Structure 1
Amino acid sequence: MFIPEPFQIDVPQSKIERVKQRLLLTDWPDEIPLQEPWSRGAPLSEVQKLADYWVNQFDWRAQERRLNRYPQFTADVNIEGFGTYNVHFLHQKSTVKGAIPLLFLHGWPGSFIEVTKMLPALVEGARESPAFHVVAPSMIDYGFSQGNTKEGFTLDQQAEACHQVMQGLGYTEYVVQGGDIGYYLGRFIAWRYPKACKAMHTNMAQPPTPDSTKHADLLAKIECAGGLSEVDQAALAGTQLWAADGMAYALLHTTRPQTIGYCLADSPVGLLAWIYEKLAAWTDDYPWSPDEVLTWVCLYQFSRAGPAAPQRLYLEMARRKPIPADQQASHYLAVPLGVSRFKKEILRLPLAWNETLGPIVLQKDYEFGGHFAAWECPDILVSDLRQMFAKDGPVRFETRLHELPQ
């Protein structure tokens, strides 16, 4: 039986003190002076400043109090072939009649925290715009969800866990928003549970390259338009550059997660540098404050399964049978799809290719923003969701709920 239990973040003081001790004992690497300080990773001076702030000024308890203002819960779900897992999730219900259940899916190095900037606008709605009941789970192995200890736990199982959370809360039908791994997870949910998942919105669409066998009509349409637009050509070139220069982390996660796991579990500075470099590189000059960076990092440092656990999902996605998870996610699905593309998204593929994924009901292209759209551009993402699910919008959603827990 699905029984949500109220949850409050309360990291043991001994863990907080142990992290500070490790920070003080850091053996720092040297650094070659560079004309472009970020060209080889996070600069020494930047990481040292953050580490010093972590020891001497950062107040994790204040961040706990802030996060604990959001209604959070844990509940057990039973995953076929794997057993019972205790899943953490944020659940903010709207008081607006006819509010739409929205499942928000994070990726790496994100977490459920990403939805919090959008939460007030989503649950309150606006004139002539829909409101949403928001559910933001921590994936298994992430945040305050239980860790997995069995081989083969991939997006099929993550999707089953998220779907059970929504069903357990009484949301028999719902919509999904996700980027990064959350995009792939959302596609799995739409594939496995199409009667429940009525539509999906993403800020990181990953369509396959069209081929003449499967996508002849689309290729003809692109050819008639004179080929890919200049914007799409530039987006594709940027993605190819990132694939050559920015994917080392993903290759390591995918092939040797245990090896990098020792570094991330043992060294708070290692974890800080590993995550901070992505926060800086994948955003559009977003002014990260030390408190923001360290809160994101601490949600991995103090995670229930530990800092080594989240990377394992990359390997399981790649080794999934009969086909890898990214290939499965690229199949055409009849579930309506909305896409918002941002300037500094790491995987920015041509908008023209998105038709290979399913019926495109909303498509926006922005000359700003980056990979963490919900954090960088919350108002824009809220606006796109409102447009997609407006009464006169492209997706009609009639709320059907079981009795919700009080």
Structure 2
Amino acid sequence: MADIVRFEVPSLSDEQQAHLNARLSTVIYPNELEQEVGWDYGAPTWAVKSMVEKWQTYDFEAYREEINQWHHYRTPIDGLNIHFIHEPSPHPNALPILLCHGWPSTFYEFHKVINVLRDGKDGQQPFHVIVPSLPGFGFSDAPKDTGYGALRMAKTMNQLMIKLGYKKYMWAGGDWGGIIGKVVASRYGDNCMGFYTHFPMVRPPVPSPRNLLFHPFKVVKFFSSLLLGFDRVYGKDKVVLNGATFANAELSYTCGYRAIQGTKPYTLAYGLSDSPVGLLGWLLEKYHDWTHHESDEISVKSALPSSLTPEEFLTQVTLFWLTNSLSSSIRIYYEVLHRHEMFRVVLPRVHVPTAVSNFAHDLSRLPVDWLAASTNLVQFREYSEGGHFPALESHRLVAADIQAFGKKLSKSAKL
């Protein structure tokens, strides 16, 4: 189509690089307690300072070259220019797949799995790989009006796939990519042929007519868990609900960022837009807390897990800095919170085939009983590694899970 235009990820301009270098060399670090508190109060100065020093010598051009090996495009949808990678597979049995990032991430989250999924080597399921930037993230335009929450983003992403000629496709994603994917899978089932996520959003087996008819024992088990505790009924750490409260820090200390981003994103955005170190610190806390470290002792003393390199993290940070998109990326929290969209995400049942992977240190994990009652679950896998960014941390497992699920779908696919 004429309005699908080739795009190349740009370099930092000389002015941008000079400005960044100046800001990184004149940092005012915050006042901290004398007592050692680890990461309890947020990202400590020693960790941020170490990463700032790495950013001063980090060469974005080397990573830009890797990023530009893929075919990038932009196209208008719903009044916004949407950026995406499109890597068609040469294999005739390839399935279209949309890989969707969340926050605080970019399309780069999938840099380790794009070629693997596209090429389908050694008899693995191949895919036509599409990796978009969500509206307000990276090189996609930021929404210009209020109301651009998860539901509207789901509509935009579905329109993108149809525009590319993929009337049937598979969806894979976590965080907002999983939340938006749940909307796509439940609302656009005529197009979405399968839904893979490591961040499922479903309700427990409450006594609905359907659950009482098809899953009575799961209903009894759920109510037993409310009395006896999740661990005793489902097994230790099978149910992790850190994300169950959207913005109530009294119920979950992990959701403070959601409370701020969901209520006053403009005020926060000044620090994240003006200060590269403020941006880095805000993201570093999440990439530390939401990833899987080998032990608690290592976690306290390390900024990042061994599975995630400082350069990968800095590439994510630099993409946000280059596009000044951190401020627009956080507004989805406001839109979803104020329009009560999470209810409309969680409540519907997913009828299309669904695959879920539970990683050890993800923000939330749900037992197979809950998933089976609320989705058409055809694949479920649990791992003792990985966290909230598994395509970066445990990319081989993610690719293998997607390929296994894709192979199941391909047997019944009519594209």
TM-score under structure 1 length normalisation:
0.89
User: How many pairs were matched up?
Assistant: 389
Match of 1:133 among 111, 116, 128: 128
Number of the residue aligned with 1:331: 348
Closer, same or farther: CA 395–208 of 1 in aligned 2, 3 Å? farther
1:297 aligns with 2:297: no
**Cα shift readout 1:253-284 (whole Å, capped 9, x = no counterpart):** 11111111111011111110100111111111
**Cα shift readout 1:281-319 (whole Å, capped 9, x = no counterpart):** 11112323321221111111112x532111000110112
Closer, same or farther: CA 224–184 of 1 in aligned 2, 3 Å? closer
TM-aligned CA deviation for residue 16 of structure 1: 2.3
Match of 2:237 among 229, 234, 237: 234
Closer, same or farther: CA 34–134 of 1 in aligned 2, 3 Å? farther
Closer, same or farther: CA 341–22 of 1 in aligned 2, 3 Å? same
Number of the residue aligned with 1:61: 61
After the TM superposition, which of the residue ranges 19-28 and 229-238 deviates more from structure 2?
A: 229-238
**Cα shift readout 1:55-107 (whole Å, capped 9, x = no counterpart):** 2x111222212211122111111x2xxxx210100111111111000001100
Which 5+ residue runs of structure 2 have no aligned equivalent?
246-250, 294-304
**Please, what is the CA RMSD of the aligned residues?**
2.3
| 2-structure distance, mates of 1:221, 1:270 | 46
Closer, same or farther: CA 129–60 of 1 in aligned 2, 3 Å? closer
1:19-34 to structure 2, matched below 5 A, reads 19-34=20-35
**Cα shift readout 1:298-355 (whole Å, capped 9, x = no counterpart):** 111112x5321110001101122xx423543431121111100011011122332112
TM-aligned CA deviation for residue 7 of structure 1: 1.0
TM-score under structure 2 length normalisation:
0.87
1:4-403 to structure 2, matched below 5 A, reads 4-10=4-10, 11-55=12-56, 57-77=57-77, 79=78, 84-213=79-208, 215-216=211-212, 217-218=214-215, 220-221=217-218, 223=220, 230=232, 232-236=235-239, 239=242, 244-285=252-293, 286-287=305-306, 288-303=308-323, 306-320=325-339, 323-390=340-407, 393=408, 396-398=411-413, 400=415
Which 5+ residue runs of structure 1 have no aligned equivalent?
401-406
> What percent of counterpart residues are identical?
27
Q: Is the 8 A contact 1:7 1:74 kept in 2?
A: yes
TM-aligned CA deviation for residue 394 of structure 1: 6.1
**Cα shift readout 1:193-242 (whole Å, capped 9, x = no counterpart):** 21110110001112213322353353523646986665655243563899
Closer, same or farther: CA 246–6 of 1 in aligned 2, 3 Å? same
After the TM superposition, which of the residue ranges 245-254 and 10-19 deviates more from structure 2?
A: 10-19
**Cα shift readout 1:167-214 (whole Å, capped 9, x = no counterpart):** 121111100001000011111212332111011000111221332235
Closer, same or farther: CA 143–284 of 1 in aligned 2, 3 Å? same
For 1:66, give the aligned amino acid: E
| 2-structure distance, mates of 1:294, 1:34 | 29
